[in-house]
Structure 1
Amino acid sequence: MQHYDAIAIGSGQAGTPLSRKLAESGLKTALIEKRWVGGTCVNDGCSPTKAMIASAKAAWSVYHNKSLGVITDHFYVDFSAIIKRKDDIVHRMRSSSEKSIQETKNLDLFYGTATFSGNKEITVTLNDGGTAVFTADKFFINTGEKPSVPKIDGIESVDYLTSTSIMELDSIPEHLLVLGSGYIGLEFGQMFKRFGSKVTIIEPSGRILKKEDADIAEEVTKVLKEEDIPVLTNTKAKSVTENGDHIAVTVDENGKETVLECSHILVATGRRPQTKELGLDKTGVDVDEKGYIKVNDKLETSAAGIYALGDVKGGPAFTHISYDDYRIISENVISKGNASTKDRLVPYCMFIDPQLGRVGITEQEAREQGLDILVATIKNDSVARSIETGDERGMMKAVIDAKTKQILGASVLAEQGGEIVTILQMAMMGNVTYDRLMNGVFAHPTYAESLNNLFMTLEQ
């Protein structure tokens, strides 16, 4: 048995920097990782998927460039080269992170699966064999989430894909059926359509992106339709069977049972926390009905000295939120501060093309709260930069407090939508009112300049 001042379980975007910071502060620290350093973001999520999306955008651009007067007679998608580039990026980032850990004094890295065997004690089943028992004064849980597979009759009898396994394919699917129209489903659906797959997306609800405003969801649907990606709403998978070289999926579509045939199924119906194997019942750490660890606004669990960071605690499942959790813990535990998750802005970006950048509340949320608001919208076919670059898809939208003129939230579906919405986020952080942006001088012609026009719609 070995004792540490602090132990971090999971080397994601919170666990890795936190373990280093704890060690650098003089605390004897251990970091336990059951798979690869870097967590989902580096290995299965943000970095590899966005690398592949860049390749898909290049393929789409070949067709799109015809409208700009640039004609390419022939091209092909080298899928093996795309996968190799993705893997090279992952290995580069993973190796860099692992090296930084190994070079940090007071920090020990162990590869294995950690299970609590006591209140402040873990037993680690080491990947290279054997077990080790560690105790610590403080524990920081950063084990994240993994894909959740719904109960569909026969789903376990076929070789279905998840957001992890789909990136290990060695060939492009003939027909990819996507279960779910959330971020994962839409990003992978559009990506593989651009690589050459036939793609069908099914969604049990009446529309995609239920948490976004209806007009934004409608614009995204229009983008998918333009790329010949059908989205079957009010459609639920009932059963799955193998049919020779293909897979037959029986679906309930608006109360009518039909059969869809495909070569591959991507299950993109949600994710669940990786808490089951932690043995939290031995710690006094409470979880909710879905298994997410309950924390307060300082990320403290119900057990003293045990904290949870990142996706495993529920809430917004974004890398930047996980990293901000690290900053909060670092401030409070090391610097004895009083940082909190209360009222923090949660920006995010869905990397379909065009990107959907978001921050703050939506119009539907504002109206549900009974707020007195102004709503500014502009279609990108009225934005000079969009017209000039030949990509007029999408729209921009902002929700404003009618009395204070403060921006409450924004949605930007546009080329570089994630970058544009960041300008609005900074305005929100600095209490810059919408009229100051409306009258601001921005370089012409840029996407940022379109914010003048967006807010001018409120003055008409």
Structure 2
Amino acid sequence: MSTHFDAIIVGAGQAGPSLAGRLTEAGKTVALVERKFFGGTCVNTGCTPTKAMVASAYAIHTARRGAEYGMTTGAVSVDFDRVMARKDKIRLDSRSSVEKWLKGMKNCTIFEGHAQFEGPREMRIGDEEISGERIFLNVGGRAAVPDLPGINDIPYFTNSSLMELDHLPRHLVIIGGSYIGLEFAQMFRRFGSDVTVIEKGPRLISREDPEVSDAICAILEKEGIHIRLDAECIRFAKQADGIAAGVDCTSGAPEVVGSDVLLATGRRPNTDDLCLDKAGVKTGERGYIEVDDVLRTNVPHIFAMGDCNGRGVFTHTAYNDFEIVAANLLDNDPRRVSDRIQAYALYIDPPLGRAGMTESEARKSGRKLLIGTRPMTRVARAVEKGKTEGFMKVIVDADTEEILGAAILGTGGDEAIHSVLDVMYAKKPYTTIKRAMHIHPTVTELIPTVLGDLSPAT
């Protein structure tokens, strides 16, 4: 006997629980299905635990620099078990909070198990059969494991399994020089591990402008992290003293021997075991569910939110997916995915805050550009904090005076970038913020100065 609901939500990540809340408040009956941990990637293996570990690494690094600030201490040691215990408490508290909220939600029935389609409106969770007028997929993603030679002959970690690490690696070899890999690289170096990052491409985080990549590389190398670029043939083999990673780089030793390996080579959606074919839902080549500008699939009553739709890979894009769906279905507010401006951060120290286009993307658009930059050595707040690595850059359309994008690599960059982002959303010219009076001493106060020093791109 199948139980019918107004809505079925599959997945308790960032979008699912909030949508359940809005739908039940609107008087709808909701079934929410979660097969593993409430809170999804962010709470369990992503933002929450990793940023807790980043905070520990930052505190340890600052303590080591104490003498620079006039603080006298003894030798700084790391209790890795306590680092992990702190991380676990924070993520478990967050997970429990989401679970308690959902299980106390009126008109919301929780099913704990794996959901699969039986038809366009029908789903099975174990022995349970349910159906829904609308179905919302919020199933997230997981680490992609590349088919590299020798990968099945060695133990390795992904960003998820690394959260259960019970020892501090002697030498952590990280495959992948992008956002996830670099955050772990700096974190574990500060905990005391030797760290080597192996990147197949010619530079780190290739989606960023070259000067951003170069500056980040310099920051990490200054802390003793080994960077191996142009690794054309990555392969693995067990050795008596660890794991050998062959790199075949254009320079340096042909292999790196480490104690532990972390694969940080991208993500893939959790869509391969939903039986989407039984519902007629289309996916692209990489398994992402195809959606339109309001996150509706090709089957009109089925929607996809979060990492599984390929329209964003961040917690904030997943939550914005919920807002778009709720606005259209419940508020008569025609919000669209295409309305949002790309924005994200890389949480190394100092962080990178990004909004809109890179300079490379802006140049490809064929627009006439104005560009302003300023090194963090000329930002009083950064000098006072003893953190002068990085720079600020803002890109403007010379004809419309529209801000096209910005990068702030430096202390507070992940917060200061929102000053630019909000002006972009307001669709105001750059002169709006150029004429603003900001508080001194802050990082944000230099954004008007950068905009006052714009010059034509050559």
TM-score range, shorter chain: over 0.9
Distance in 1 separating the partners of 2:64 and 2:88? 27
Q: Which residue of 2 aligns with 1:70?
A: 71
Shift of 1:249: 1.5
Within the alignment, does 1:379 sit opposite 2:375 as a pair? yes
CA, structure 1 residues 440+59, in 2 after alignment: closer, same or farther (shift >3 Å)? Answer: same
Residue deviations 1:307-339 (CA, integer Å, cap 9, x gap): 000010003201111011101111122234422
Is the partner of 2:118 in helix, strand or coil? strand
Flag the 1:335–1:440 CA change in 2: closer, same or farther, 3 A: closer
Structure 2 vs 1, CA of residues 263 and 152 (structure 1 numbering), >3 Å: closer, same or farther? same
Match of 1:361 in 2: 357
The Cα of 1:343 is off from its aligned counterpart by 2.8
Does residue 347 (structure 1) correspond to residue 360 (structure 2)? The answer is: no
- After superposition, where does 1:359-438 map in structure 2 within 5 Å? 359-438=355-434
1:83 is aligned to 84
* 1:161 and 2:162 are equivalent in the alignment: no
From 178, 182, 186, the equivalent of 1:182 is 178
Aligned partner of 2:15 in structure 1 is 14
Paired positions, count: 455
Instruction: Please state how far the C-alpha of 1:405 moved relative to its aligned partner.
Output: 1.9
Query: Which residue of structure 2 aligns with residue 39 of structure 1?
Result: 40
Amino acid at match of 1:222: A
Offset at 1:416?
Answer: 1.4
Residue equivalent to 1:107: 108
Q: Which amino acid aligns with 1:225?
A: E
1:294 counterpart (290, 295, 307):
290
Q: CA deviation at 1:459?
A: 6.7
Task: Decide whether the 8 Å contact of 1:443 with 1:449 is kept in 2.
Answer: yes
Distance 1:53 1:255 in 2: 31
Deviation, structure 1 residue 86: 0.8
- For 1:424 and 1:65, locate their aligned partners in 2 and report how far apart those are by CA, in whole Å: 33
1:232 is aligned to 2:228: yes
TM norm structure 2 = 0.96
Structure 1: state its 5+ residue gaps. Answer: 126-130
Shift of 1:451: 1.4
Give deviations 1:66-91, integer Å, cap 9, x for gaps: 22232322121111111111111111
CA distance in 2, matches of 1:254, 1:120: 55
> What corresponds to 2:441 in structure 1?
445
SS in 1 for 2:247: strand
Which letter maps to 2:89? D
Query: Which digits, 9 at most, give the CA deviation of each residue in 1:174-210, with x for residues without a partner?
Result: 0000000111000001100000000000111111111
1:439: Cα distance to partner? 3.2
How many percent identity over aligned positions? Answer: 39
- TM-score, normalisation: structure 1: 0.96
In structure 1, how many angstroms separate the alpha carbons of the residues matched to 2:191 and 2:366?
45
What is the letter of the counterpart of residue 190 of structure 2? R
Find the aligned partners of 1:337 and 1:57 in 2 and give their Cα distance. 42
Residues of 2 paired with 1:144 and 1:368: CA distance? Answer: 32
1:146-196, Cα deviation, whole Å (9 max, x unpaired): 000001122122210000111211111000000001110000011000000
* 1: CA distance, partners of 2:330 / 2:453: 48
What amino acid maps onto 1:187 in structure 2? E
Secondary structure of residue in 2 paired with 1:425? helix
Secondary structure of 1:348's match?
A: strand
Deviation string 1:350-369 (CA, Å, 9 cap, x unpaired) is 11110100011111000011
CA distance in 2, matches of 1:17, 1:339: 17
User: Match for residue 128 of structure 1?
Assistant: none
In 1: Cα distance, 2:22 partner to 2:389 partner: 44
Structure 1 partner of 2:29? 28
Matched, 1:170 2:166: yes
- The separation in 2 between residues aligned to 1:459 and 1:344, in whole angstroms, is 27
Match of 1:458 in 2: 454
More off after superposition, 367-376 vs 340-349: 340-349
Letter in 1 for 2:254: T
Residue identity matched to 1:294: E
Shift of 1:137: 1.0
* Displacement after TM superposition at 1:257 (Å): 8.1
